[in-house]
Amino acid sequence: MFNKKKSLTAEELLKNVYRKIQKFFDGQDIALPQTARAVIAHDMKYNWTRLGYSCYDLASLAKVRNKKWVIAFGLACGSYPADYFDCDIAAINLVDKKRLTTAMSVHRLLKNNSYFINSLVYCLKSGLLRVNQKGVLGKAVVPIINFSQIERFFFRRFQAEPYLFDRDGNPVVKKSALYKVEFEDLLVEAFCRVIISLS
């Protein structure tokens, strides 16, 4: 007998949300020439720098009303500054109609999504969801998603190792948060409303 999944990791949740947004807007997959890496964290000491990235391999182009959007799913990668993060969903409005929508131009746009400036949502290694409120989409996302109400969608709350902290003073993750499956469609609806409202 097939057992229906009762919970999702944050990565599974956001990847499913990305796919459903793509389907809702009839988005077309874009074959990027290579992984697009946007800086999301850094550590500078003396004469060296370590960078963490969000790496985008999954991207699509969607037309919403009369505007085109690039929507992409990214995973944290690179050096240790990225260890605090997990994944994100980027959505970039192609305001300039002259902008090319070739795979190379989309690659460049995603590389410029530094510090989740064009992300609908990003996720920490703990499984907790965050929005860059100073980002392009942050002010539109926050009123639609009441982040204080997200707790009711936890299947399992994030658990930290007691007395253990990483080099940045963040608690070491013992168990990441898991989400109830029904949270997925709520996020899809909310993010689609954001994209439509900005189109």
Segment 43-76, tens digit of pLDDT? 887 777 889 999 999 999 999 998 999 999 999 9
Residue 18 lies in a domain: yes
Closest among 32, 92, 87, 21 to 57, alpha carbons compared: 32
Residue 139 lies in a domain: yes
Overall domain count for the chain: 1
Residue 156 lies in a domain: yes
Q: Does the structure show a pLDDT above 80 at 96?
A: no
* Burial label, 120 (beta-carbon count in 10 A; 0-12, 13-18, 19+): buried
Residue 67 lies in a domain: yes
Which residue range forms the structural domain that includes residue 96?
A: 7-197
The count of other CB atoms within 10 Å of the CB of residue 16 is 17
Q: Can you give the pTM of this predicted structure? A: 0.91
- What distance in Å separates the CA atoms of residue 35 and residue 56, rounded to the nearest whole number? 6
Residue 1 lies in a domain: no
- Can you say how many angstroms the Cα of residue 77 is from the centroid of all Cα atoms in its chain? 13
Q: What is the pLDDT of residues 117-162, one digit of tens each?
A: 999 999 999 999 999 999 999 989 988 887 778 889 999 998 988 8
Residue 33 per-residue DSSP state: S
**DSSP annotation string for 122-155:** EEETTS-EE--TTSTTHHHHHHHS-GGGGGGGEE
pLDDT of 162 reads: 84
Which two three-digit tokens encode residue 157?
A: 């709350």
Residue 75 lies in a domain: yes
Residue with tokens 């929508």: 101
What's the chain's average pLDDT?
90
Residue 2 lies in a domain: no
